[in-house]
Amino acid sequence: MRVRFGINYMPTGSPPEVVRWAQLVEELGYEILGISDSQSICRDVYMTLALCAVNTERIRLGPRVITPVTRHPAVAACAAATLEELAPGRTLVGIGSGDSAAFNIGLRPASLAELREYAQTIRSLLTTGSAAYHGATATLTWKRAEVPIYLAASGPRTLHLAGQIADGVVIRTGIAPEIVRDSIAQVHAGAQAAGRDPGAIDLWWWPDVNVAASYQEGVEEIKMSLAAAGNHLSRFTTEGKHIPPDLLEKVKTLGHRYAFSSHTLPGSPNNRLIEELGLVDYLAHRFAVVGTPAECIKKLEEAAEAGARHFWMSVHFDDKERFLRDWAAKVAPAFR
């Protein structure tokens, strides 16, 4: 069964470190690289992407993800067009409602209507040079570019919207088989409602990952990522997000108490929060591929049987090089 893998990380290292990570992603056979955008807790996404673009030759790359809360669509379109010049045919734009980038400057995430307008405006600017946005005309006069737009989605309404307007989807709903099947159905329903071919939409699942000597050891390194995944379950609404009734109040508490100032950072107080709430194993089961190579392969096989074939994996713990090599040597060969 052919399965594809990509990597996403926050640019928390020095520029030479971040470039080395990108080069390893390419050398080891991963297909796509995402850089997180969170201006308050890591380095700039597009400066980082430019460095990665000029130091790689094959991998696709782009922000995962920018938000209308912090970046005007004309600024986003200009950045995307510039990156496309640096890496022709290899770039994308990932957009989302806004997470730590928004909350760490005291703002709220964008609504679905805002996301729709944002995506459509960026596309129009890149392809025609002009778009109406918030009652005014925005322009991009120096460049035309075909850059695919990917929408990050963690709930049914955003999945449906992605099916309507996006070239691809970054799916943050979980990789349990029943959730995979429902997420695909939501995207396809959106595509059909818009008269689009559902099969033309590029679906990438967003799991948290780690290869280790044991499940417990692997989970310990990714608790901050699991907490971030759990926080998404309570954003906007909990409806339609497959949260077990006995865990609903705990998930809501996680959302209320989540510390965005240490979002996905190692040693985050969010680690202790999900331990206190008893959510660690639930979140790992739902969102993670973690443990021994055999355990990781089994989890991926189950998700792939349900329809998830592309995994754009988040790696936020410190020893990224060790993980990249271990996954490429011990897990990925089972799916070639």
Q: What is the pLDDT of residues 124-162, one digit of tens each?
A: 999 999 999 999 999 999 999 999 999 999 999 999 999
What is the model's pLDDT at position 275? 98
Shared domain check, 313 and 254: no
Query: 9 versus 1: which is more confidently predicted?
Result: 9
Q: What is the pLDDT of residues 168-196, one digit of tens each?
A: 999 999 999 999 999 999 999 999 999 99
Q: What is the pLDDT of residues 304-319, one digit of tens each?
A: 999 999 999 999 999 9
What is the model's pLDDT at position 161? 98
CATH number at residue 93: 3.20.20.30
Shared domain check, 319 and 177: yes
Shared domain check, 230 and 108: no
Local confidence band at 326 (pLDDT 50, 70, 90 cut-offs)? very high
Shared domain check, 141 and 73: yes
Shared domain check, 198 and 92: yes
What residues make up the domain containing 173?
4-214+289-335
Kind and range of the H or E run holding 60: strand 60-63
Local confidence band at 3 (pLDDT 50, 70, 90 cut-offs)? very high
The count of structural domains within the chain is: 2
Q: What is the pLDDT of residues 115-125, one digit of tens each?
A: 999 999 999 99
Shared domain check, 299 and 275: no
| Burial of 185 from C-beta contacts in 10 A (0-12 / 13-18 / 19+) | middle
Of 288, 311, 327, which closes a domain?
Answer: 288
Shared domain check, 119 and 32: yes
Of 288, 312, 327, which closes a domain?
Answer: 288
What is the model's pLDDT at position 265? 84
3-state secondary structure of 43: coil
pLDDT at 1 > cutoff 80: no
Q: What is the pLDDT of residues 42-57, one digit of tens each?
A: 899 999 999 999 999 9
Shared domain check, 230 and 109: no
Shared domain check, 123 and 87: yes
Q: What is the pLDDT of residues 78-104, one digit of tens each?
A: 999 999 999 999 999 999 998 888 888
Give Cα separations from 321 to 21, 25, 26, 137, 256 (angstroms).
7, 9, 12, 45, 34
pLDDT above 70 as % of the chain? 100
Give Cβ neighbours of residue 262 (< 8 Å, ≥ 6 apart).
41, 224, 268, 269, 270
| Single pTM value for the model | 0.96
Q: What is the pLDDT of residues 225-281, one digit of tens each?
A: 999 999 999 888 999 999 999 999 999 999 999 998 888 888 899 999 999 999 999
Shared domain check, 148 and 53: yes
Shared domain check, 267 and 200: no
Shared domain check, 185 and 38: yes
